Amino acid sequence: EIVLTQSPGTLSLSPGERATLSCRASQSVSSSYLAWYQQKPGQAPRLLIYGASSRATGIPDRFSGSGSGTDFTLTISRLEPEDFAVYYCQQYGSSPQGYTFGQGTKLEIK
Amino acid sequence: QITLKESGPTLVKPTQTLTLTCTFSGFSLSTSGVGVGWIRQPPGKALEWLALIYWDDDKRYSPSLKSRLTITKDTSKNQVVLTMTNMDPVDTATYYCAHTESKWRDAFDIWGQGTMVTVSS
């Protein structure tokens, strides 16, 4: 079973700064099936990035994804107040693996 | 516009079977490449994928929960039903259904609002 480990657990930054979130897989993941989500308190997750680097519909270009193999990164170039939330990476593998989510990174205001 | 909404009991007793229904609109589950999945989130914890059903009735389950889960679809009613047997207090969580499509590389692009299920005697 593929395990996704996100780091750091909590990231404290100020608006305007750059955020770099990491997602490391226990074994190689197809880049085509690596996604990132944003979740705010009391809300459902929102898809940000799919296919490791493609932005979902309506996602601002300050969000970018990169990586391959076992190491993936979500970068937020300049933090806006609404970007402070929890971020999850997710991979999808062939049966019987299915989907796996990381444990999340909380991005908080410093 | 794609929307999904979960429905079901808010409280179940230990050992009971949970049945949740996802009612959706804006897409058809008979369209090639489309799927609906279930994901849950215990209070204050991470997301956990449970099951997924595709347009062609292909079904996928979380390996750790497979023995307890069944997912079905009713294309005519635009519904997907998830049943989970032998409920336990650790299954207390918000349960989400979500849409996926091959163009999104099977990521979940649209989510329902979620329904909170508490397992307690």
Give the pLDDT of residue A5.
Answer: 98
CB contact under 8 A, A88 and B46: yes
Tens digits of residue pLDDT in B77-114: 999 999 999 999 999 999 999 999 987 888 999 999 99
Residue A17, Cβ neighbours under 10 Å: how many?
13
Q: What is the DSSP letter of B17?
A: P
Chain B, nearest residue to A87 by Cα? B46
The band of A32, judged by pLDDT with boundaries at 50, 70 and 90, is: confident
- Tell me the per-residue pLDDT of A43-82, one tens digit each, with 9 for 90 and over: 999 999 999 999 999 999 999 999 999 999 999 999 999 9
Optimal mutation site among A30, A92, A100, interface B, most CBs of chain B within 10 A: A92
Q: What is the largest CA-CA distance in chain A?
A: 42
Residue A40 has pLDDT above 80, yes or no: yes
Q: In the prediction, which pLDDT does A89 show?
A: 97
Residues of B in contact with A32 (CB under 8 A): 105
pLDDT in tens, B20-60: 999 999 999 999 999 999 999 999 999 999 999 999 999 99
Q: Report CB contact under 8 Å: A56, B113.
A: no
Which residue in B has a C-alpha nearest to residue A6's C-alpha?
A: B46
Count Cα atoms within 13 angstroms, Cβ side, for A18. Answer: 6
* Residues of chain A found within 8 Å of residue B59, distances taken between Cβ atoms: none
What was the pLDDT predicted at A95? 63
- Tell me if B63 and A97 make a contact (CB, 8 A cut-off): yes
Give the pLDDT confidence score for residue A98 in this predicted structure: 85
Torsion, Cα of B94, B95, B97, B98 (10° steps): 50
